[in-house]
C-alpha cells in the first residue's frame, strides 16, 4: 500500500499530460463542426469525383446513408468496387453507381459527361472533390499536356462542370460544390504560366507546393465566377475547405521517414479523419438553409473569409483562359 502511494505522484505526472492533450484534441474536433441533418435525399442524384477513397468515399457514404443516388466518378473502377464494398458494410441505403472518369484526360471527361446525360434524367449536385498533389519537380503532366495539379484539380473539373451545366440547370434547384483548400491562401496565379515552366526554379525553393496551392486558388476563383454567371438559374455554387484530412492525396510526395516522425505531433492536433473532413462538403451539398448564399467559401461547416485579397478581374480572366485551354464555348450559360 505504501509503495503504491509513493508511485501515485509519478502516475499523475504521466497521466495528466495525456488527459490534457486528449481534451485539447476533443476541443479541436468540436470546432471542426459536424453536419447532423439526416434529411432524406431519396430521388436526388449526386456526382462525387474521386469517391473511391478519403473524403470522397466518406462523402459518398454519408449521401448513401441519406438514401441518395451517388455516381462515384473515378479513374480506377477496381478501386471504386472496393470502396462500394466498404460502404455497403455500414449502410444498405441509397444507390451507388460506379462510372469511370479520368480528370487528366479531356477525352475521358467528355465521354463521362455524355454517359451521365444518357443514363440520368436529372443531376442535382456535382461535387468536384478529386484531387492530386504532385511535387512541382516531378514534372508530371496530364494527357493533354498540362501540369498535373492544375490539370486535374482545376482544369479537368472546369471542363466537367461546363459539360454538365445544362443538366444541372434542368435539375434546379441544384448545386455545385468545389472542394478547394485553405492552402489557396498560399497560391499564386500567372495566366501566362499556368504550367509553371517559366517560374519553376524559383517556385521549387518555396516551402509550400506552389503548383498545388495555385490549383486550389483557381478553384476558388472558379466558384466566384460560376456564382456570378449562374445567378438566377437555380444552381448554387460553394467552395469548401475540408480541413487537414487523412487521405492518400500525398502519396506522390517523396517524404523521408524522419519527416513523417516530425509530422506526428502536428497530426495529433490538426489531422482529421476522412469522415470529419466530409462534413462541410455534406452540408454545402444538402443543407437547404444555404440556398441563396452562392459563391461563398465554407470551412468547419461555417462560412469562411479568406485571408487573401481576391482580384475581381481574375475571376473572368481565369474563366476565359480556361475556356481557351479546353477549347469549348460556354453555351450552357447562355
Closest C-alpha to 68, from 50, 31, 42: 42
Cα within 13 Å of Cα(265), Cβ side: 3
Q: Which grid coordinates are listed for 139?
A: 514534372
End-to-end CA distance of the chain: 83
| Strand arrangement, sheet containing 302-303 | 95-100, 69-74, 45-49, 125-128, 174-179, 235-241, 297-299, 302-303
Question: Of 13, 133, 134, 212, which one is the catalytic site residue?
Answer: 212
The Cα-based distances of 159 to 75, 249, 329 in angstroms read 16, 22, 10
H/E stretch holding 236 reads strand 235-241
Closest C-alpha to 220, from 97, 327, 128, 110: 128
Q: What is the largest CA-CA distance in the chain?
A: 84
Quote the CA–CA distance of 269 and 333 in Å, as a whole number: 44
Q: Which grid coordinates are listed for 322?
A: 480556361
Active site residue 13: no
DSSP code at position 248: S
| Ordered DSSP codes for 4-71 | HHHHHHHHHHHHHHHHHHHHHHHHHHHHH---------TT-EEEEETTTSHHHHHHHHHHHHTT-EEE
Q: Which grid coordinates are listed for 310?
A: 481576391
Give the active site residues.
Answer: 212
Amino acid at each position: 500500500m505504501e509503495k503504491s502511494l509513493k508511485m501515485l505522484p509519478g502516475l499523475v505526472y504521466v497521466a495528466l499530460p495525456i488527459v490534457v492533450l486528449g481534451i485539447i484534441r476533443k476541443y479541436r474536433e468540436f470546432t471542426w463542426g459536424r453536419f447532423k441533418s439526416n434529411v432524406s435525399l431519396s430521388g436526388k442524384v449526386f456526382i462525387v469525383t474521386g469517391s473511391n477513397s478519403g473524403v470522397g468515399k466518406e462523402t459518398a457514404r454519408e449521401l448513401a446513408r441519406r438514401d441518395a443516388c451517388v455516381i462515384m466518378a473515378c479513374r480506377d473502377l477496381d478501386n471504386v468496387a472496393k470502396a462500394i464494398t466498404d460502404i455497403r458494410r455500414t449502410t444498405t441505403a441509397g444507390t451507388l453507381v460506379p462510372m469511370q472518369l479520368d480528370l487528366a484526360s479531356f477525352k475521358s471527361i467528355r465521354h463521362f459527361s455524355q454517359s451521365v446525360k444518357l443514363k440520368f434524367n436529372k443531376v442535382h449536385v456535382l461535387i468536384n472533390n478529386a484531387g492530386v498533389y504532385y511535387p512541382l519537380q516531378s514534372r508530371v503532366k496530364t494527357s493533354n499536356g498540362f501540369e498535373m495539379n492544375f490539370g486535374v484539380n482545376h482544369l479537368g473539373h472546369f471542363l466537367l462542370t461546363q459539360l454538365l451545366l445544362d443538366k444541372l440547370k434542368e435539375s434546379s434547384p441544384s448545386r455545385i460544390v468545389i472542394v478547394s483548400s485553405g492552402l489557396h491562401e498560399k497560391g499564386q496565379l500567372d495566366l501566362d504560366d499556368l504550367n509553371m515552366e517559366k517560374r519553376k526554379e524559383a517556385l521549387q525553393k518555396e516551402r509550400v507546393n506552389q503548383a498545388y496551392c495555385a490549383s486550389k486558388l483557381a478553384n476558388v476563383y472558379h466558384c466566384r465566377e460560376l456564382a456570378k454567371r449562374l445567378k438566377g438559374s437555380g444552381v448554387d455554387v460553394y467552395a469548401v475547405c475540408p480541413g487537414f484530412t487523412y487521405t492518400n492525396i500525398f502519396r506522390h510526395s517523396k517524404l523521408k521517414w524522419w519527416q513523417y516522425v516530425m509530422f506526428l505531433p502536428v497530426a495529433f492536433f490538426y489531422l482529421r479523419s476522412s469522415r470529419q473532413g466530409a462534413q462541410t462538403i455534406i452540408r454545402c451539398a444538402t443543407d437547404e438553409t444555404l440556398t441563396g448564399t452562392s459563391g461563398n467559401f465554407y470551412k468547419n461547416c461555417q462560412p469562411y473569409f479568406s485571408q487573401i485579397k481576391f482580384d475581381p478581374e481574375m475571376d473572368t480572366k481565369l474563366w476565359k483562359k480556361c475556356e481557351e485551354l479546353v477549347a469549348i464555348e460556354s453555351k450552357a450559360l447562355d
